[in-house]
Amino acid sequence: MSKLLKPQGYTPLLDLQQTELAIKKIKDFFLSNLSSELRLRRVTAPLFVLKGLGLNDDLNGIERPVTFPIKDLGEATAEVVHSLAKWKRNTLADYNIQNGYGIITDMNAIRADEELDNIHSIYVDQWDWERVMSVDDRNLTYLKDTVRRIYAAILRTEYYMSEMYPQLRASLPEDIHFIHSEELRRMYPGMTAKQREDAICQAYGAVFIIGIGGKLGDGKEHDTRAPDYDDWSTPNEDGFEGLNGDLLVWYPLLRRSIELSSMGIRVDETALRRQLALQGKEERTQLFFHQRLLNGELPLSIGGGIGQSRLCMILLQKAHIGETQSSIWPDEMRRECREAKIALI
């Protein structure tokens, strides 16, 4: 059986042709707004990187990258990117981007180990962005301000689409609620991390959960993170650890929370060494990316990814991410979607 959620009485508000046009409107409008909000310049990004440079991301540490040999490089192995967190920071240095400015790009990835359902696909498309920051801005206040700017761009895009298509009613709250993952754990004892996300998002509509990657009071992480891009172990002014987090919204159509962005202030030299030691991965200090960081060749930065197909799915009020992107789905899920009037692209 597939893991498909089928909203009772679901009928798409836009047909396939309207949907394709609306996806273009969302992507163009949001990209322009976010770029202006954070002063980001578009750059061209790779689909794959060479294995062994430390530029690819480990995400939760268990996903296998798609790999292939390159004939003209002596059969050297390339990896399809999982995301571009470390590549972007490397690019900030190479392009000599100044403090307060950054870059943004379209990231396309293949995550072959993804468990497929209404919001997870093996094809991932994100706006990946990275911005240079000063040492004085490495704090929770700066993180929250950046999150609010991103959320404001989302709200403007939602309003724009509701003006273009009156059947798409705006539903996101005006403000986003901030909470640390340890506070969230204490608020909902006995729940799993996913259940806590659903509970807090249903209560507030839009939430940024701070501190993803470090161990909480029960000895478990809210969710796992690689040790070499987000800073999840530095204490912040609220008395907890972590300068990163996830932006989630409540999605009434599916009666669940949906993560739109994972982002954060990136590791400095101290946080990198500490987090590598916590995960027993000190050998990474010898890799190309990590050497550049430890040698002071990379700027301090903040960055993240924002799911393109997920944002389109929510703003177009679709029941399945396959209604806003083209991917591969199990035959059983395709059959169920047809029966439930879910029109996969």
Residue 299 burial (C-beta neighbours within 10 Å; 0-12, 13-18, 19+)? buried
pTM comes to 0.94
**Of 130, 158, 246, 268, which residue is the catalytic one?**
246
The one catalytic residue in 35, 57, 58, 131 is: 57
Dihedrals φ, ψ of 133, to 5°?
A: -135, 165
Q: How far apart are CA 230 and CA 293, in angstroms?
A: 13
Tell me how far apart the alpha carbons of residues 188 and 176 are, in angstroms, rounded to a whole number.
19
Element housing 247 (H / E): strand 244-251
CA separation for the pair 137, 122 (Å, rounded): 36
Comparing CA positions, the residue from 104, 113, 39 lying closest to residue 80 is 113
Mean pLDDT of the region 52-78: 81
The residues, ordered by sequence, that sit 6+ positions from 84 with a Cβ below 8 Å of its Cβ are 45, 46, 57, 105, 107, 128, 305
Report whether pLDDT(201) > 70: yes
Q: What is the mean pLDDT of the chain?
A: 94
Average pLDDT over residues 322-344: 95
Average pLDDT over residues 13-17: 95
Q: Is the pLDDT of residue 342 over 90?
A: yes
pLDDT value at residue 105 = 96
Question: What does the pLDDT read at residue 42?
Answer: 96
Q: Of the residues 262, 301, 309, 317, which is catalytic?
A: 262
Catalytic residue among 63, 238, 259, 336: 259
The mean pLDDT of 104-131, rounded to a whole number, is 93
Q: Long-range contact list for 193-198, CB < 8 A, 24+ apart?
A: 193/222, 193/223, 196/222, 197/248, 197/257, 197/259, 198/250, 198/256, 198/257
Q: Which residue has the higher pLDDT, 46 or 60?
A: 46
233 is known as an active-site residue: no
Which one is catalytic: 35, 83, 126, 301?
A: 126
Quote the pLDDT of residue 61. Answer: 56
Highest mean pLDDT among 81-85, 110-114, 201-205: 201-205
Question: What CATH topology corresponds to 16-40+86-339?
Answer: BirA Bifunctional Protein; domain 2 (3.30.930)
- Structural contact between residues 2 and 332, judged by C-beta atoms closer than 8 angstroms: yes
Rounded to whole angstroms, the maximal C-alpha distance in the chain is 58
Confidence category of residue 102, pLDDT binned at 50, 70, 90: very high
Q: What is the mean pLDDT of residues 242-264?
A: 97
The mean pLDDT value for 82-93 works out to 91
Active site residue 57: yes
Mean pLDDT of 192-219: 97
% of the chain residues with pLDDT over 90: 89
**Please, which pLDDT band fits residue 250 given cuts at 50, 70 and 90?**
very high
Give the span between the Cα atoms of 260 and 82, in whole angstroms. 16
pLDDT value of position 65: 85
What number is the average pLDDT over the span 179-194?
96
Q: 3-class secondary structure for 81-134?
A: CCCCHHHHHHHHHHCCCCCCCEEEEEEEEECCCCCCCCCCCCEEEEEEEEEECC
**Is 171 a catalytic site residue?**
no
pLDDT of 257:
97
254-293 pLDDT, tens per residue? Answer: 999 999 999 999 999 999 999 999 999 999 999 999 999 9
Q: Has 262 been annotated as catalytic?
A: yes
Question: Which residue has tokens 């009772």?
Answer: 8
DSSP state of 258: E
Calpha distance 263→251 (Å, rounded): 20
Q: Is 113 a catalytic residue?
A: no
Say how far residue 322 (Cα) sits from the centre of its chain: 18
Task: Tell me if residue 195 is catalytic.
Answer: no
Would you state the pLDDT for residue 260? 98
Choose the catalytic residue: 89, 111, 131, 185. 111
Give the tens place of pLDDT for each residue, 151-167. 999 999 999 999 999 99
Confidence (pLDDT) at 81: 86
Residues 14 and 22: their CA atoms lie apart, in Å, by 9
